[in-house]
Amino acid sequence: MALGVNVMRGLRTRIQGRAEHVRNFLSFIICRGVALALFAVSVPIFLASRGGADYGRIALLFTMFSYITLLDLGIGYAVNLRFTRALTRGRSDAHRIVATAVPIYLVAGVLICVLTMIVAPYLSEALFASQQEVASIRVLACTAIFLLMSAVFQSPPTTLSRPVVDALVRSARLVPVSQ
């Protein structure tokens, strides 16, 4: 009888331990589903009200916006990895890793913003054969700062989430990493 009770407790503990993963997975699926539903509803409405040419312009501008996120060049991943390693090793100066990355990202974001603002008229002419989208390109240029900074500021919350910390603690025990 005691064995059966222990088995049931162990089973319940394993299910409860995975509940966080199930919630995270379901919230991800729900968010993606809502995003797809909004896309499926908004595109026909936009096409009906503005036309295909304007929709193409918006799509091209958003494509430019997504390319800005590639300018991270993997530095955000490196910051996240180093921050996580420092935390799992119990280092008290882990916050310095993020603090060092902030000015680097800020300078990079400002440079990208200024350069894009300078070439905005040329980009608009090359992409749209008019100066009509200069203001839109300049607004997108300003977002580079925030996009790059978000890569740095997402490291602590990502690292401090329990599943990530658990996995990294296990891997830190298995694989010795030089300091």
Residues 98-149: tens digit of each pLDDT: 888 888 888 888 888 898 889 989 988 887 888 888 888 888 888 878 877 7
**DSSP for residue 70:** G
- Rounded-to-integer distance, Cα 46 and Cα 56, Å: 11
Write out the DSSP string of 101-158: HHHHHHHHHHHHHHHHHHHHHHHHHHHHSSSTTHHHHHHHHHHHHHHHHHHHHTHHHH
Residue with tokens 């910390």: 165
Residues 93-112: tens digit of each pLDDT: 777 888 888 888 888 888 88
Nearest to 145 by CA among 42, 69, 32: 69
132-163 as b/e, with b when 16 or more CB fall inside 10 Å?
A: ebbebbbebbebbbebbbebbbebbeebeeee
The structure's pTM equals 0.57
Residue 57, sorted as left (phi over 0), alpha (psi -120 to 50) or beta, turns out to be alpha
- Rounded-to-integer distance, Cα 122 and Cα 115, Å: 12
